[in-house]
Amino acid sequence: MQQSYTTLNNGIQMPLLGLGVYNMHSAEAEAAIHAALETGYRLIDTAASYGNEAEVGNAIRNSAIPRSEIFVTTKVANTDQGYDNALRAFDASMQKLNIDYIDLYLLHWPIKNTRKETWQAVEKLYTEKRVRAVGVANYLVPFLEELKTYATVIPVVNQAEFTPYLFLKDLLQYSKQHAIQLQAYSPIVRGKKNNDPKLTAIADKYNKTPVQIILRWAVQHGVSTIPKSSNPERIKQNFDIFNFSISDNDMMLID
């Protein structure tokens, strides 16, 4: 089954579907990444604050998949914000991951007093070609508007919580207008909506699971999505969304 890709505003390609590894550690994290790569995933999303960059790096180095085919995202932690701190944090992430390069480096949260200088540090990493792409996370429209006033590089990605139950239509439209790729974390609502009758009715219609419907809905909106699972069966199920389409009517119902 083929993965779908999106072209970021700096011309590099990123898979639309990835594996999130929040709160996964040690052998569990490495096994999950191995299962995901075997299944066909090519995007792995971690963060300094998850405390598992070393495991992510180990899994990638031990994989038979060429490094050039795997897209790796990590993020500067809130405790590492500020210009010099963020530059040091990037070096620490590189060391823990122990891979040749990071594909995407995100500013994890828009912390009021430090977000400007942190973004300037992130830009420096990009202009010096130390990272392939840079972006932000948890930025709603007012934060993106503020960022425009001092950024010299447009973020390629904004990672935010985005689901049919938290349908941030204004953020989706803004992202498309400004060529920022929206990426959804916690896309499957931590499994809490799997028994929603409206969702299960649509899932039955397509002979898919409620989770597959939610993930397909995101991808059809052009939103990248990074469901988290360490269960090999669920990892496979979550990837099985590229062989069907949701009708326009059903998309509107889910919206």
Chunk the chain into consecutive blocks of 10 residues (it has 255) and report each block's average pLDDT, rounded to whole numbers: 89 98 95 97 97 97 97 98 98 98 98 98 98 98 98 98 96 98 93 92 97 97 96 96 97 97
The two beta strands, 5-7 and 13-15, are antiparallel
50 is catalytic: yes
3-state secondary structure of 179: coil
Active-site option among 50, 105, 174, 185: 50
Distance CA 231, CA 223 (A): 24
Distance CA 5, CA 88 (A): 31
Distance CA 128, CA 125 (A): 5
Taking CA 75 as the corner, what is the angle to CA 72 and CA 77, rounded to the nearest 5 degrees?
155
Read off the pTM: 0.96
- Please give the backbone phi and psi of residue 20, each rounded to the nearest 5 degrees, phi first: -90, 140
Residues 47 and 245: beta-carbon distance below 8 Å: no
- Length of the chain in residues, anyone? 255
User: What confidence score (pLDDT) does residue 15 get?
Assistant: 97
